[in-house]
């Protein structure tokens, strides 16, 4: 029996007063009076429970705003972009539509656009690590993508840790050590050198930790960082969260590429260019207070590395002098040609490189020349020594 029926039973059959019935059933006297009046007016139908919802809702979100929220979500999802409540909130603010993030979430949930995921770790428990300035640290990685023809492609990216600014994004049949150097140099020429880099321990990024953890020689990328005074940081194996920002970026990119399938490498580059422009100039980023990466990257001064006067870098190269009397040497990411002399053609040599200085000897220890490498020139002449002077020698 419903509570209202019990109240009427107490008044009509037991003869209790409003005050007594209210005390017995633990309700207010005014409620007992209201239920009795309904019974007298409507009979048993007046005892049925009634909705407590208000007849009017002056603060309810207008239908056109609800429709715009759902349209934005559908459009962003089809575009391959993030379509969460925070992102939609930012786009609505640009249209001068004021609505809370919680309201957006409720409207999407009622429309069936949200799948509950109670197993997810709450964001309040996350610990975010972030560089304090632009160019304080760059993250880099490469990922795989398959064209509609079935061809496997690798995409390399450089991302600013502080602002999430996408410094570089290109696709290649295969990412090599030379491509790492070229893409880094291209980004540095456009945006300045970073104070540090963070990558995994892939061989295209580092070889100093190879050979079972023993120290090995530096590759071209590591040599370039040493020469520029840039600190190199590497994450631990099987710990992709160390490079979490670039790893999270791949998730966003792959969602976009899934909606923009292409068949050729040139078409993929066009898609990547469109995505890059949208990513750092249009798309609001939650981790940087809903600003765009471009705004965050240009807001405060950039960090810079301290270039050492004498970089502590060593390189040993075994080679054979060519017919033209030269050997080729990749130094700081660029190919240099050292002039040994035609009389030494086909001679096996050892080239010792320390910072910007190179010494060439034969396998028997005979001295062939010294070089002060000029980063701006491709061909490097011998440095005049005690037995090798210019016209000004006495």
DSSP letters along 294-348, please? HHHHHHSPPP-----SS---EEEEEEE--TTSEEEEEETTEEEEEE--GGGTT-E
How big is the chain, counted in residues? Answer: 394
Residue 392 has pLDDT above 60, yes or no: no
Among residues 331, 316, 323, the alpha carbon closest in space to that of 376 is found at 331
pLDDT higher for 223 or 381? 381
Average pLDDT for the chain: 83
Residue 241 has pLDDT above 60, yes or no: yes
Averaging pLDDT over each range in 61-65, 111-115, 127-131, 215-219, which range is the top one? 61-65
pLDDT per residue over 272-290, tens digit each? 999 888 877 777 766 667 7
Predicted pLDDT of residue 59: 75
pLDDT per residue over 345-370, tens digit each? 999 888 888 778 888 988 777 889 99
Give the DSSP H/E element, type plus range, for residue 164.
none
Predicted pLDDT of residue 1: 59
**Residue whose structure tokens are 């919680």:** 102
Residues 6+ apart with CB under 8 A from 205: 140, 180, 199, 221, 222, 234
pLDDT per residue over 37-74, tens digit each? 888 888 888 788 777 777 777 778 888 888 888 888 88
The Cβ of residue 327 has, within 10 Å, a number of other Cβ atoms equal to: 23
**Residue whose structure tokens are 């632009």:** 134
Out of 52-66, 321-335, 345-359, 380-394, pick the least confident: 380-394
Residue 214 has pLDDT above 60, yes or no: no
Q: In which band, very low, low, confident or very high, does the pLDDT at 196 lie, cut at 50, 70 and 90?
A: very high
Predicted pLDDT of residue 128: 59
Predicted pLDDT of residue 394: 38
Give the C-alpha separation, 139 to 233, whole Å. 9
Residue 319 has pLDDT above 70, yes or no: yes
């Amino acid at each position: 029996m419903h509570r209202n029926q019990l109240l009427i039973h107490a008044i009509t059959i037991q003869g209790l007063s409003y005050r007594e019935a209210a005390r017995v059933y633990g309700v207010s006297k005014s409620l007992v009076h209201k239920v009795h009046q309904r019974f007298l007016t409507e009979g048993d139908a007046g005892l049925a429970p009634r909705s407590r919802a208000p007849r009017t809702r002056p603060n309810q979100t207008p239908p056109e705003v609800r429709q715009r929220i759902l349209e934005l979500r559908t459009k962003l999802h089809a575009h391959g972009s993030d379509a969460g409540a925070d992102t939609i909130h930012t786009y609505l603010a640009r249209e001068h539509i004021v609505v809370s993030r919680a309201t957006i979430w409720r409207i999407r949930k009622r429309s069936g656009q949200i799948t509950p995921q109670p197993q997810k770790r709450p964001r309040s428990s996350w610990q975010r690590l972030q560089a304090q300035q632009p160019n304080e640290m760059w993250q880099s990685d490469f990922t795989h993508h398959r064209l509609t023809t079935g061809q496997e492609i690798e995409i390399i990216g450089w991302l600013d840790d502080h602002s999430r600014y996408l410094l570089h994004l290109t696709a290649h049949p295969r990412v090599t050590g030379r491509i790492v150097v070229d893409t880094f140099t291209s980004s540095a020429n456009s945006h300045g050198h970073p104070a540090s880099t963070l990558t995994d321990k892939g061989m295209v990024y580092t070889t100093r930790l190879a050979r079972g953890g023993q120290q090995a020689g530096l590759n071209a990328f590591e040599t370039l960082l040493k020469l520029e005074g840039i600190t190199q940081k590497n994450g631990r194996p099987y710990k992709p969260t160390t490079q979490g920002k670039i790893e999270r970026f791949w998730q966003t990119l792959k969602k976009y590429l899934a909606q923009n399938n292409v068949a050729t490498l040139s078409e993929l580059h066009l898609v990547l260019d469109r995505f890059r422009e949208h990513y750092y100039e249009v798309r609001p980023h939650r981790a940087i207070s809903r600003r765009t990466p471009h705004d965050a990257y240009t807001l405060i001064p950039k960090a810079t590395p301290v270039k050492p006067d004498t970089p502590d870098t060593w390189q040993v190269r075994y080679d054979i002098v060519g017919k033209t009397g030269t050997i080729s040497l990749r130094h700081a990411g660029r190919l240099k040609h050292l002039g040994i002399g035609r009389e030494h053609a086909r001679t096996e040599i050892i080239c010792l490189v320390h910072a910007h200085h190179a010494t060439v000897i034969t396998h028997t220890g005979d001295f062939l020349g010294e070089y002060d490498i000029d980063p701006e020139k491709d061909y490097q002449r011998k440095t005049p020594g005690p037995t090798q002077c210019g016209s000004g020698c006495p």
